[in-house]
Structure 1
Amino acid sequence: METAMDDAPRTPAAPGPLASFARFVLLGGGVGLLSSGAVALLAERLPWALANALITIASTLLCTELHARFTFGSGRHAGWRQHWQSAGSAAAAYVVTCAAMFVLHLVQSSPGMLTEQIVYLSASGLAGLARFLLLRLYVFAAGRRTKAPRPTRAPALKTRFPVAAKVPAVAGAM
C-alpha cells in the first residue's frame, strides 16, 4: 500500500560523523592547499595581505558550498545563513591561529621555523576541529533534521442528520 510519503522527494542520507570528518579534512584540506598556492601567485601582483584576504574569502565560499553539498550531506547549495555562519567560524579560526602565534612570540622572542609550524598547525588543527563540530552540529544540522510525519486526523463521522448531531442533549427533555 503506497502512502503520500512514498511520493515525497527524498534527500540523500547524511553521512555519519566519521565520514563527515573525513570529507571535511579532504575537501577543506584540498582547498587549503590550493589556496596557499593561489595566495603565493596572487601576492606577486598584489600586497600579500590583500591577496590573502581575497583568497580567504573565495576559499571560504567554495568550502561552504562543498561542505553543504558533500561533507554534511544536504545535496544542495548553501544558503546565505550558512555562508555567513561559516565565514564567522572561519574568522574565529583565523583569530585562534593568530593568537597562538602571538603568544608564541611573547614566550619566545625568535622561535625556530619548526616551533612556529608546530604551534601554528596545532592551533589550526584545534580550530579546525572546533569548526567541524560547529558546522556539523549547528550550521548544517538543519538540513539533516527531518520532521516526523504529523498524524492525520480521522475524518469526522458523517451522520444522516448533521444538525441533530450538533444539538446538545438537554436533561429532562421529553
Structure 2
Amino acid sequence: MRGNPGAPGAVASFARFVLFGGGVGVASSTAVAGLAGLMPWAVVNALITVASTLLSTELHARFTFGAGHAGWRQHWQSAGSAMVAYVVTSTAVLVLHLVQPSAGVLYEQVVYLAAAGLAGIGRFLVLRLFVFAGGRTRTMEWVMRPVPARETGATVSLSFPVPAL
C-alpha cells in the first residue's frame, strides 16, 4: 500500500510519530533502566534498540505514514537510522558518566531521553522523506542555460526525484 493517497500529512505524521515513537521510547527507557543492573548498559541499550526498532518501524509504516506493512527494505533502512540513534544515546550517556561518574538513574534517564528525542527528530525526517516516501515524490527540474556572451543555443536539463514534505 505504498504511495497511499490517504496517507497522513506532515503534521499528522509527526504527531503520530511522537505518539508511537515516544511510547516505544518510554517503554524502551524503562526496560533499559530495569535491565542495566543485569548486564552492561551499552549491551542492554543495543538489545532494546533492536527490539524497539522492529516494533516502531512496523507501527510507523502502518499508522504514522500509512504505508501498510513494512518490508525488509524499510526495516533495514530504519535500522540504519536507529543505529545512528543508538550511537547518539550511548555517546550522551557515556559523556554523562565521564563528566559525572556518580550520576544516578534519574540523570541517566534525563540524558538518555533528551538524546533520544533529538535523534528521534532526525529519524522522523529520514523515515518520512526517504524510507516511507512512497508516491509522495515530485520531480524538481534544474535548467542550466548558456552564458549570454557565448550564445551556442545549448541547454542542459537535470531532473531528479525530490521527496515531498
TM range (shorter): 0.5 to 0.7
Instruction: Map 1:1-174; keep pairs closer than 5 Å.
Output: 11-35=4-28, 54-74=47-67, 76-145=68-137
More strand by share: 2
CA shift digits 1:149-173 (9 cap, x unpaired):
xxxxxxxxxxxxxxxxxxxxxxxxx
Please list every run of 5 or more consecutive structure 2 residues that lacks an aligned counterpart in the other structure: 140-165
The verdict on how the C-alpha distance between 1:112 and 1:54 changes in structure 2, with shifts beyond 3 A counting, is closer
Conservation of the 8 A alpha-carbon contact between 2:33 and 2:105: no
Conservation of the 8 A alpha-carbon contact between 1:68 and 1:77: yes
CA shift digits 1:59-115 (9 cap, x unpaired):
3222111111210122x2112111001011112101101101111222223234443
Q: Over aligned residues, Cα RMSD in angstroms? A: 3.3
TM-score (norm 2): 0.65
CA shift digits 1:106-156 (9 cap, x unpaired):
222323444333322211110111111111111111343379xxxxxxxxx
The verdict on how the C-alpha distance between 1:89 and 1:118 changes in structure 2, with shifts beyond 3 A counting, is same
- Percent identity, aligned pairs only, is 71
Please list every run of 5 or more consecutive structure 1 residues that lacks an aligned counterpart in the other structure: 1-9, 148-174
Shift in Å at residue 47 of structure 1? 9.2
**Max Rg structure:** 1
Indicate the larger mover: 98-107 or 53-62. Answer: 53-62
The verdict on how the C-alpha distance between 1:68 and 1:54 changes in structure 2, with shifts beyond 3 A counting, is same
| Aligned length in residues | 137
Question: Quick one: distance in 2 between partners of 1:36 and 1:101?
Answer: 12
SS at match of 1:11: coil
TM-score (norm 1): 0.62
Question: Quick one: distance in 2 between partners of 1:112 and 1:48?
Answer: 13
Question: Quick one: distance in 1 between partners of 2:70 and 2:100?
Answer: 42
